[in-house]
Structure 1
């Protein structure tokens, strides 16, 4: 119908009517060539294009699944890392607690040892003081005895023998001790 309308329009105006429209035989040949080109494309090009698109879709789907699997693996690795990090923190806390307990035990041992040594030093010093006091008392007795003998000798103007001398010294010291 379109061809008939075009043909009639050309016939009414003569050859100068529609210059833009091709000749009917050219139009038919162009239409046949176009349909042949479409048929060839549907037969050869579109199946290849569809196959390529399907392969690409399959590749994309595979990569998406692979990415999902890697995401799941990464999340599992993250959970494992966090668990081992929590374990490490727990171990560190335990080590710190053990170190504190050990330090406290050492401190208590050192304090006990220091107190024992201090008590021994005090006891030794008290023993030395007592020994020194005893030595000083002995020296004083000897000096007091010698002085009293000299004094008595001068007073009595005579020399005392050793036993008399010791008796006088002991008696004098006894009197001094009784007075204190």
Structure 2
């Protein structure tokens, strides 16, 4: 095999001219577009990473807010239970005090009525005693009829009371 040096040099010169033309008109813009594309993909990856971090942060904030809301709801329920229990105790205490007051008033009323009844009975017994004494004086009877008369008037007094 024989190499033609003149053809070889012409081919190398043609190749170099083609390479220079391609570098100037094709490779430069092609590499520029490739660099722009690489930068665009890099920016999109960075944006996606930032969005993911922001989403993770928002998710954590929402979890904390939900946990705080649950705690507040639990505190409100506990406070309502405590308030309800206190109100129930207050109502029971007030009812007990009212019942004691009514009981004391009833006992006072009973005592007053008893005193009135005793006073009325004393008044009637006094009137009957005077009546018996006047009848005894009028009749001037013996001892046996006097006892019968006293028993008779005592029965009347007992029937009126």
The bucket for the TM-score relative to the shorter chain is 0.5 to 0.7
Structure 1 residue 44 displacement after superposition: 4.8
Unmatched 5+ stretches in structure 2: 1-15, 136-153
1:55 to 32, 36, 41: 32
Matched, 1:80 2:61: no
Aligned to 1:130: 107
Alignment-derived partner of residue 34 in structure 1: none
1:7-156 alignment runs, 5 A limit: 44=21, 47-156=24-133
Q: Which deviates more from structure 2 when the two are superposed, residues 45-54 or residues 84-93?
A: 45-54
* Distance (whole Å) between structure 2 residues aligned to residue 137 and residue 63 of structure 1: 109
Please identify the structure whose Cα radius of gyration is greater: 1
Q: Distance in 2 between matches of 1:137 and 1:104?
A: 49
Equivalent in the alignment of 1:33:
none
Give the superposition deviation at 1:45.
Answer: 6.8
Structure 1 residue 157, shift from structure 2 partner: 3.9
- RMSD between superposed Cα atoms in Å: 2.6
For this pair of structures, how many residues does the alignment match?
122
Alpha-carbon distance between aligned partners in 2 of 1:110 and 1:95, rounded to the nearest angstrom:
22
Separation in 2, partners of 1:83, 1:57: 39
Name the CA distance, whole Å, in 2 between partners of 1:60 and 1:154.
138
Q: Which runs of 5+ in 1 are unaligned?
A: 1-38, 159-171
Work out which structure has the larger RCO, using CA pairs closer than 8 Å and 6 or more positions apart in sequence.
Answer: 2
Distance 1:57 1:157, change over 3 A: farther
More off after superposition, 127-136 vs 47-56: 47-56
Q: Normalising by the residue count of structure 2, what TM-score does the alignment of the two structures yield?
A: 0.65
Paired with 2:82 and 2:57, the residues of 1 have a C-alpha distance of 37
Q: Which aligned runs of 4 or more in structure 1 are off by greater than 4 angstroms?
A: 39-46
Alpha-carbon distance in 2 for matches of 1:156, 1:69: 128
